[in-house]
Amino acid sequence: MFTINPFAEISATVSPTVMQWYIIVMALFVAGGTLFDMIHKKSARFFFQDWGKKRAKATKPLGGGEVASLAIKTAVVDVLASGEFCKVPRRIAHLLTFYGFIAYLIATIMMVFSYPTPDMATPAYLPQLWYLGAAMVMVGGYWFWFFIRVDVLYEGNSPFRLIRADLFVVSLLLSVTFGFLWGLTQASGAAGLATFFLALYVLASTVLFAGVPWSKFSHMFYKPAAAFEKNVEEADGSTNMPPPADSSNLGAH
C-alpha cells in the first residue's frame, strides 16, 4: 500500500501534464502570494529601513565574515532546528510538521515529474517517504491543533474555534490528511471514495497555496529573516536590551 505511487495510478484519467502544471502553478502562487503580501503590507520596506537604522546604531559593527557566520548559525539553529521556539512541545511539533512537509513535497514532486505513469517503476522509497512525510505533518499538526495552540491552551478557547491565523495550519492538515486518505483508498481499489478524497485533496491544497496572501504561510520566509536580524542586533550592539548580568558586579548598596 505504502509503496504504490498514487499519482501514477490516476495518470490515465488525470494526465501527468495537468498534475505537473498544477504543481508549477501552486509554486507560483506561493512565490507570487508572498511577494504580493510584502509589497501590499510594505513589510519588506519596513525590514530594510529597520535594518538600516539599527546598523547605524551599532556599537561593534560586524565584518563580512561575522555576518556570514551569523547567517549560517541562523540557518542551522533557528531554521533547521526550529531553535526559535522556546518551549519544547512546540519545538518538537514544529520539527515534525516542518520536516514532514518537506519530505512530502519532495516525494510529490519526484513522483509527479519523474515517475508520472505506472510503466515507469516508482522506487518503493518514494511513496513511503510521501506517506511518512504526510504522517509526520499529521502527528505534529493535530497535536499542535488540539493541545499546543496558544489560543486554546492559554486563552481557554475551544479547539474548534477558527480564527484567520488557522488558515495555514487547517489547509495544510486537510491537504495532507485527504491526500493520505486518497492514496490509501486509491491503492485499495475503492474508486468512488478515492475520487471523493482526491477532490477534497485538490481543494485543500489549492486553498493552502493560493491562500498565502491571507495566511501565515509567508511567515516561514519572514521568520528566518527576523531571526537573522535579531542575531546581528545582539552581536553588533544595536539592541536596546541590557546585556546578561555579571552577577559579581551588582553595584554597591
Residues of this chain that bind other proteins (CB under 8 A): 84-87, 90, 149-151, 153-158, 160-161, 163-166, 216, 219, 222-223, 226, 229-230, 240-247, 249-253
Least distance to other proteins from the beta carbon of 23, Å?
Answer: 28
- For the chain, the maximum distance between any two Cα atoms, rounded to a whole number of angstroms, is 83
Residue closer to other proteins by CB (options 141, 179) is: 141
Least distance to other proteins from the beta carbon of 17, Å?
Answer: 38
Residue closer to other proteins by CB (options 60, 164) is: 164
Residue closer to other proteins by CB (options 55, 195) is: 55
Alpha carbons within 13 A on the beta-carbon side of 225? 13
- Total residue length of the chain: 253
Residue closer to other proteins by CB (options 198, 210) is: 210
Who's near 90: CB < 8 A, 6+ residues apart? 144, 148
Tell me which residue of 126, 133, 131 sits closest to 111, measured CA to CA.
126
Least distance to other proteins from the beta carbon of 246, Å?
Answer: 8
CA distances from 109 to 35, 161, 239 (A): 23, 34, 42
CA dihedral of 16, 20, 26, 27, whole degrees rounded to 10: 160
Least distance to other proteins from the beta carbon of 99, Å?
Answer: 18
Residue closer to other proteins by CB (options 65, 154) is: 154
- Contact (Cβ atoms closer than 8 angstroms) between residue 19 and residue 7: yes
Residue closer to other proteins by CB (options 13, 249) is: 249
Least distance to other proteins from the beta carbon of 150, Å?
Answer: 4
Q: Report d(CA 176, CA 134) in Å as an integer.
A: 5
Least distance to other proteins from the beta carbon of 1, Å?
Answer: 35
Distance of CA 14 to the CA centre of its chain: 27
